[in-house]
Chain A
Amino acid sequence: MAELSHLDELEAEAIYIIREVAAECEKPVMLYSIGKDSSVMLHLALKAFYPEKPPFPFLHVNTTWKFKEMIKFRDETAKKLGIEMLEYINEDGVKRGINPFDHGAAYTDIMKTQALKQALDKYGFTAAFGGGRRDEEKSRAKERIFSFRSASHAWDPKNQRPEMWKLYNTKINKGESIRVFPISNWTEKDIWQYIRRENIDIVPLYFAAERPVVERDGNIIMVDDERFPLKEGEVPQMKSVRFRTLGCYPLTGGIESTASTLDEIIEETLASVESERTSRVIDNEAAGSMERRKREGYF
Chain B
Amino acid sequence: MSKGLLKFITCGSVDDGKSTLIGHILYDAKLIYADQEKALELDSKVGSTGGAIDYSLLLDGLMAEREQGITIDVAYRYFTTDSRSFIVADTPGHEEYTRNMAVGASFAELAVILVDASQGVLVQTRRHARICSLMGIRHYVFAVNKMDLVQYSEERFNTILADINALAGELGLPDIKLIPLSATAGDNVTAHSGNMPWYAGEPLLEYLENVDVGESGSTEKFYMPVQRVCRPDRTFRGFQGQVEAGGISVGDTVRTLPSGETATVKGILVTDKQADTAYAGQPVTISLDREVDVSRGCVITTDENLAAYGTLDVSLLWTDDSELNIGDDCIVKLGTKMIPAVVTGIKYSVDVNTGEHIPAETLHKNEIARCTIKLSEPVTADRFALHRTLGELILIDRVTNMTAACGVVENVYDKSASGQEKAAFTDGVLKARGDLFEEFYYDVNSYNVFHSQTINSTFRVGDEIPTHGKSFAYPDDFDVIVMRDRVAVLIRGRKVERLISFDEYSYDCSAPIVNGRGFAVLAKTGEDVKKFIYEYENSDESTLPELFGKWLDFDTYRKIFISGAYI
Contacts and interface: CB of A to CB of B under 8 A. Distances in A.
A288 B42 CA distance: 14
A141 interface: yes
B271 A47 contact: yes
Given A19-B228, A50-B271, A135-B77, 6 more contacts: A23-B228, A47-B283, A49-B240, A51-B285, A140-B61, A167-B394
Interface in A125-147: 134-135, 137-142, 144
Contact of B232 (A9, A47, A52): A52
Given A12-B242, A157-B73, A167-B333, A162 B100 contact: yes
Given A9-B281, A139-B62, A162 B78 contact: no
Contacts of A272: 33
Contacts of B319: 162
Contacts of B135: 164
Interface in A16-32: 16, 19-20, 22-24
B272 A275 contact: no
B336 interface: yes
B331 interface: yes
B75 interface: yes
Interface string B62-76: 111010000011111
B5 A15 contact: no
A2 interface: yes
Given A48-B283, A185-B78, A169 B227 contact: no
A24 B72 CA distance: 29
B33 A169 contact: no
Contacts of B34: 273-274
A2 B248 CA distance: 12
B43 interface: yes
A4 B5 CA distance: 10
Given A16-B283, A165-B106, A185-B87, A23 B72 contact: no
Contacts of B338: 24
Interface string B97-108: 001101100110
B444 interface: no
Contacts of B396: 169, 171
Given A24-B338, A169-B403, A171-B331, A16 B74 contact: no
The 10 nearest A-B residue pairs measured at CB: A138-B61, A275-B33, A50-B272, A171-B401, A47-B271, A273-B34, A164-B406, A52-B232, A15-B283, A164-B106
B75 A141 contact: yes
B4 interface: yes
Contacts of B102: 162, 164
Interface in A164-199: 164-165, 167, 169, 171-173, 184-185, 187, 189
Interface string A40-54: 000000111111110
Interface in A78-118: none
Contacts of A273: 33-34
B133 to A, nearest CB: 15
15 contacts: A3-B4, A9-B281, A12-B283, A138-B60, A141-B61, A142-B74, A142-B75, A157-B64, A162-B406, A163-B106, A167-B394, A185-B76, A185-B78, A275-B35, A288-B66
B83 interface: no
Give the residue among A6, A23, A160 with the most B Cβ atoms within 10 A. A23
B233 to A, nearest CB: 9
Interface of B: 4-5, 33-36, 39, 43, 59-64, 66, 72-78, 80, 85, 87, 99-100, 102-103, 106-107, 135, 214, 218, 227-228, 230-232, 236, 238, 240-242, 247, 269, 271-272, 279-283, 285, 296, 319, 331, 333-334, 336, 338, 389, 392-394, 396, 401-403, 406
A156 to B, nearest CB: 11
Contact of B103 (A20, A24, A163): A163
B285 A9 contact: no
A201 to B, nearest CB: 16
Contacts of B85: 6
A287 B73 CA distance: 17
A9 B7 CA distance: 12
Size class of the contact patch on chain A: 35 or more
B78 A187 contact: yes
Contacts of B403: 161-164, 169
A12 B228 contact: no
Nearest to B272: A50
A166 B423 CA distance: 33
A24 to B, nearest CB: 7
A278 interface: yes
B242 A51 contact: no
B272 A47 contact: yes
B5 A9 contact: yes
B61 A173 contact: no
Interface of A: 1-6, 8-9, 11-12, 15-16, 19-20, 22-24, 46-53, 134-135, 137-142, 144, 157-158, 160-165, 167, 169, 171-173, 184-185, 187, 189, 272-275, 278, 287-288, 291-292
B392 A274 contact: no
Contacts of B43: 287
Contacts of A16: 227, 242, 283
A162 B36 contact: no
A162 B75 contact: no
Nearest to B4: A6
Nearest to A270: B80
Contacts of A53: 232
Contacts of B231: 52
Contact of B61 (A15, A184, A291): A291
A185 B282 CA distance: 17
A150 to B, nearest CB: 12
Give the residue among A11, A138, A184, A292 with the most B Cβ atoms within 10 A. A138
Given A23-B296, A163-B103, A169-B403, A274 B35 contact: yes
Contact of A278 (B35, B227, B242): B35
A273 B135 CA distance: 37
B90 to A, nearest CB: 9
Given A139-B62, A288-B66, A15 B228 contact: no
A141 B104 CA distance: 12
A274 B33 contact: yes
B281 A19 contact: no
A162 B62 CA distance: 17
Given A50-B271, A164-B403, A139 B76 contact: no
Contact of A158 (B72, B106, B228, B232): B72
A135 B78 contact: yes
Contacts of B5: 6, 9
A81 to B, nearest CB: 13
Nearest to A12: B283
A147 to B, nearest CB: 12
A5 B281 CA distance: 10
B234 to A, nearest CB: 13
A291 B59 CA distance: 14
Nearest to B36: A275
A157 B228 CA distance: 31
Given A9-B281, A22-B228, A47-B271, A173 B401 contact: yes
Give the residue among B39, B85, B236, B403 with the most A Cβ atoms within 10 A. B403
B403 to A, nearest CB: 5
Contact of B77 (A11, A24, A46, A141): A141
A2 B282 CA distance: 10
A157 B393 CA distance: 24
B61 A142 contact: yes
Contacts of B281: 4, 8-9, 12
A79 B62 CA distance: 41
